[in-house]
Structure 1
């Protein structure tokens, strides 16, 4: 791994998008199962409509994202797994590169609230000296995309939990 000047990836608290925190009437294990089942993202996720990765640390996560600025358009995105804590945290990042100096880190956080409930939210930190500019340009639509994702994850997890309870 190459060394990068720390100023190029510094965190500015004003350049972080935070989704709504949703409480989910399903265990953290079910939410985790949905988050790591990348081939099924297109069935429930309104923003990340396709994803592919081994989810090994450092592995690429190839995504197809729904545009929130151009109706009907999609665009590719590739980031790299940087945290994987089952039932707690799934993160990927876009490292700084001189050719694309817009590093970022996405954290998806699950908080167990009991045996049959949890909370979920996500953040996207736009890093380095360009982070605040990315935030001003992209922040509002990223927030909307992440809020939509949180709501869809809640619906998917609760439906799956109800199905499994009914079948047992």
Structure 2
């Protein structure tokens, strides 16, 4: 059962870039290594139900761990989600949602959540929640920096 105390929520950032551009950044998985310090590698087909293979860097360390989840939501310019499902070998489960909202001309609000689920939810939150929060906060700052830099580049190219 999902419990509010097992939810990690990143900071919300307002990004000086159109929502379409922020969506482009989030779904250009091949370029994650160029900007995403928490998840420097991600591979997926982008099709619902397919695997999402990630490498996640534990904040403050050089340790990178593999995380394999399933793509469960793809709502362009609104929501991108994947989830870890329990298996016989690993009972851990979680769902990550990344939210986008256009908040004005050329401005976007972004944040992400991770809900720990299943038998080990409380243990996962206790042992990993703090560094997941730290990593998600960094992703919010990273996606803001990347989208704003691309937006500035494209604006300069139009002049």
2:13 maps to which residue? 22
Q: In the alignment, which of 43, 67, 88 is matched to residue 58 of structure 2?
A: 67
2:40 partner SS: strand
Please give the alpha-carbon distance, in whole angstroms, between the structure 2 residues aligned to 1:76 and 1:139.
17
Q: Which moved more, 1:50-59 or 1:125-134?
A: 125-134
Matched, 1:162 2:155: no
Deviation at 1:98, TM superposition (A): 2.8
Please give the alpha-carbon distance, in whole angstroms, between the structure 2 residues aligned to 1:97 and 1:33.
32
2:91 partner SS: coil
Unpaired runs of at least 5, structure 1: 1-9
2:112 maps to which residue? 122
Backbone CA RMSD of aligned residues: 1.0
* TM-score (norm: length of structure 2): 0.96
Please give the alpha-carbon distance, in whole angstroms, between the structure 1 residues aligned to 2:105 and 2:122.
39
1:108 maps to which residue? 98
Unpaired runs of at least 5, structure 2: none
Please give the alpha-carbon distance, in whole angstroms, between the structure 1 residues aligned to 2:122 and 2:105.
39
Task: Work out whether residues 120 and 150 of structure 1, in 8 Å CA contact, stay in contact via their aligned partners in 2.
Answer: yes
1:140 maps to which residue? 130
Q: In the alignment, which of 24, 36, 42 is matched to residue 27 of structure 2?
A: 36
Task: Work out whether residues 12 and 132 of structure 1, in 8 Å CA contact, stay in contact via their aligned partners in 2.
Answer: no
Deviation at 1:155, TM superposition (A): 0.6
Matched, 1:97 2:87: yes
Q: In the alignment, which of 81, 84, 90 is matched to residue 74 of structure 2?
A: 84
* TM-score (norm: length of structure 1): 0.91
Superposition misfits of 4+ residues, deviation over 2 angstroms: none
